[in-house]
Structures are given as structure tokens and as C-alpha cells.
A = this chain, B = another copy of it.
Amino acid sequence: MNMHVFDEAIALQAQDDGSFTGQTHAGYANMVGPFGGTTAAQMLQAVLQHPERLGDPVSLTVNFCAAVADGAFTLQARPARTNRSTQHWTIELLQDDLVVMTATALTAVRRETWSTDELTMPAAKPPQDTPLPEQHTAPMAFVQRYELRVVGGGFPTEWNGGDSGTSLTQLWLRDNPPRPLDFASLASMSDIFFPRIIVRRASPTPVGTVSMTIYFHADSAALARTGTGYLLGQARGQAFHNGFFDQTAQLWNEAGELLVTTHQIVYYKS
């Protein structure tokens, strides 16, 4: 059986000094450089594969400090503080000895408690009844790595430069080809929502995520329940102000479990 392309992309090599090396993957290329979601997943992998790791991911913040160049990189993950059931991590991604990304993460051993999802899944036609795009016009390779079925708020079909008054997108998604969900793919999918200003304005705008935070509500049991099923993703911007806007997003599985809440702040030029 062939390795899934996502597993190829997030493969890391442990080094004698405790660091990891990895490389960008042509299958997850963005317009320039790699898709940020895959890079976030690679940074998380440096924690997941670390011999001192305690528990599963609860939160991850990645900062896109400079453009990641296509090619090799080094990851340094360090447990900054280890408690009885939680562990705090600092991570850096370097290219040519320069810091390109910084990150912090929390892993924890979870215990069963009273639990509920307050934000319920929005009503949407099931994925099977939500059409695939008629043709993939996006030139970026990573878009082909996801099966994306847009419920509403899709990529503009024409640049009319107006103001739609809303940046809300809802879509079904899963890996293409399907792959059982894990923390790394959930991290990558958290960055699937294209820049909110594009939905709001339908105007070509230079953009770049500068920081993204992911809260994993899913534990390994919820991942197993989800398997290769679809996720419903929802994203919207809250404020756009003088060069930076935010976007807040959620990912539910088909059963309506809220697996991830995520936020990012994005540079834009207009």
C-alpha cells in the first residue's frame, strides 16, 4: 500500500541533537512556498514524535515569521514546562539557521468530565448532496489535496470589488484521497479557509497569515469516531483594520461533534 501524500509531507527525520529535519512537499504547494496548514502540521509533528511528550495536543499557536522557502528545514521542539498531566512546548522552524516560524503548544492527558458543545453545527445539506466544484480552477497544488464541497461563501467567481457585507464560509472537507483523521491533519485543515477579505470584497488582495491558534477539542476517541468522514468547516472575519484582519473558524464532524475551534490573524494590503 502506498503512503498517503499527507504522511509523506509531514514525515520528519530525528537528528542526534534532538532536533528534526523535514522538507516542504510539492503536493502541498501554495501560490508561493508551502500551504501554511501543512507547515503547522509539521511543527506539531515535532511535538508528537518527541520522546518526552506527555499526552495529546490541546492547543497550538504557530507564528509565520517569514516566508517558508521550498526545500529542507530544521525543527526544534523543547518542553518548556512539564506538569503532572500537562506539558508546554516551544517550537522553532529554521531555514539557513534563521527563524522562519515560532510556535507554542500544550499537550495534556485528558480525563473524562462533563462535556458539551455550546456552538452547535449549522444546518447544511449532507456532503453527498453538496456538489464538488465543476472544475478546479485554483492553481495551488494543496487545493487538490482536499475534497472541498462549498455550502456557502465560496471563492468569488468574479472580481467585482464590491463589499458583500459578510465573510462567512461554510464547507464540507476531507483529505483527498480520504485518510483517517489525526491531530496533524486536523491542524492542517484548520488553515483551509481562504482569506476572509476575499469573500468579503471579491477583490484581489495580497494577504498572509501571521499567527494561527488551534484548540483541539477532539481527543483520540473523537478522532477514531470521525475516521475518514467529512468535516463541516465554518469561518468568518470579525474585524478588518489597517492591515490586519482576524478569522475565527470551527470544524465539526458529521455527527456534529465540535472537533476544533481556531483563530488566525492575517496581514492584508489594500
Residue pairs across A and B with Cβ atoms less than 8 A apart, 19 shown, are A58-B244, A61-B211, A61-B213, A63-B88, A65-B83, A66-B81, A103-B104, A108-B244, A114-B201, A115-B240, A115-B242, A116-B163, A117-B238, A117-B240, A215-B265, A218-B241, A219-B241, A239-B261, A261-B263
**Residues of B contacting A118 in the complex (Cβ-Cβ under 8 angstroms):** 166-167, 200, 236-240
> Which residues from chain B contact A19 at a C-beta distance below 8 Å?
none
Cα of A113 to Cα of B239 in the assembled complex, Å: 13
| A118 CB → nearest B CB, Å | 5
Chain B residue nearest in CB terms to A218: B241
Contacts of A201 on B, CB cut-off 8 Å? 114
Q: Is the interface of A mostly helix, strand, loop or mixed?
A: strand
* Copies held by the complex: 2
**Beta-carbon contact of A243 and B61 below 8 Å:** no
A119: interface (CB < 8 Å): yes
Most buried by B among A167, A236, A240: A240
CB distance B80 to A65 under 8 Å? yes
- A82 — nearest CB in chain B belongs to which residue? B65
The yes or no answer to A9 lying at the interface (CB within 8 A) is no
Q: Which residues of A contact B (CB under 8 A)?
A: 58-59, 61, 63, 65-66, 80-81, 83, 86, 88, 90, 92, 98-100, 102-104, 106, 108, 110-119, 163, 166-167, 200-201, 210-211, 213, 215, 217-219, 222, 236-244, 246, 248, 250, 258, 261, 263, 265, 267-270
User: What residues of B have a CB within 8 angstroms of the CB of A237 in the complex?
Assistant: 118
Report the Cα distance A250→B111, complex, angstroms: 30
- Shortest CB–CB separation between residue A101 and chain B, in angstroms? 9
- Docked pose: A163 CA to B244 CA in angstroms: 38
Given known pairs A104-B102, A114-B240, the reply for A86 and B261 (CB within 8 Å) is: no
Chain B residues near A167: list those with CB within 8 A.
118
Measured CB to CB, the closest approach of chain B to A191, in angstroms, equals: 15
The answer for the CA separation of A163 and B116 in the assembled complex, in Å, is 10
- Give bound CA distance, A20 to B242, whole Å: 31
Flag if B106 contacts A210 (CB, 8 Å): yes
A59 — which chain B residues lie within 8 A by C-beta? 210-211, 265
> A110 and B166 in contact (CB under 8 A), knowing A66-B83, A248-B248?
no
